[in-house]
Amino acid sequence: MMKLYKLSPSPYVRKVHVTLIETGLIDQVELISGANSPLDPDPALTALNPLGKIPALVRDDGGTLYDSRVICRYLDHVAGAGLYPETRVWDVLTLEATADGMLDAALAMTYEARFREGEKFWPEWVEAQWVKIARALAALEGRWMSHLAGPLDAGQIAVGCALGYLDLRHDARGWRNGHPSLARWYEGFAARPSMQETVPKG
């Protein structure tokens, strides 16, 4: 049985968890939760992933995969689920990268507030990260809605998890303002059983 090392409420872990459900592989993976922090990585995790990041997937043959994009692509390959359809694979990968870039910026904002308190806190850095997210939201609203409305793929899963993380950690920013089509899409996508089952807590 494969093993997935995870930590809630990581949005990258959620991407993999949703993919496991959507591909029907969830019963073939043991979910292992642990404590991990950029300043205090779990030794069990660093033994699997030298970067000390989650998620990490230990395959049946003992090899370990890490980075959510790599893991999701692998799971789709194993299941033959078609979440990276060859006819539009570059669009799917670009959309997934856009969503992951949003997450990178959102996490940088979260970590800045969590680990750099008082005079060390850098508000200009935080705002610069939000500008990246704002540009990505505008791109999604302006040119990706027809793709998001199409058949389920890995790009949609990534966008759904990214928007969910904005709700969790940066809800006060009101990402829905000015993005009505994206907000309507997310309302429907968030109702999927795989998204409901993986709603982060805490």
Q: Domains of the chain, with CATH numbers?
A: 2-79 (3.40.30.10), 86-192 (1.20.1050.10)
Residue 106 has pLDDT above 70, yes or no: yes
| H or E stretch at 177 | none
pTM of the model: 0.92
* pLDDT interval class at 42 (50, 70, 90): confident
pLDDT at 202: 63
Residue 69 · residue 53 · CB < 8 Å: no
Min mean pLDDT across 38-42, 78-82, 120-124, 189-193 is at 38-42
The predicted-structure confidence for 134-186, as pLDDT tens digits, reads as follows 999 999 999 999 999 999 999 999 999 999 999 999 999 999 999 999 999 99
Mean pLDDT of the chain: 91
Q: What is the pLDDT of residue 132?
A: 98
At 47 the pLDDT is 75
Confidence at 34, pLDDT banded by 50, 70, 90: low
CA end-to-end span of the chain, whole Å?
28
The Cα–Cα gap between 165 and 49 comes to 24
CA-based angle 105:53:10, to the nearest 5?
55
Q: How many helices (H) and strands (E) does the chain have?
A: 9, 4
Exposure on the CB side of residue 37, measured as CA atoms within 13 A: 6
Question: Tell me, what's the pLDDT at 145?
Answer: 98
Q: CA 191: distance to chain centroid?
A: 17
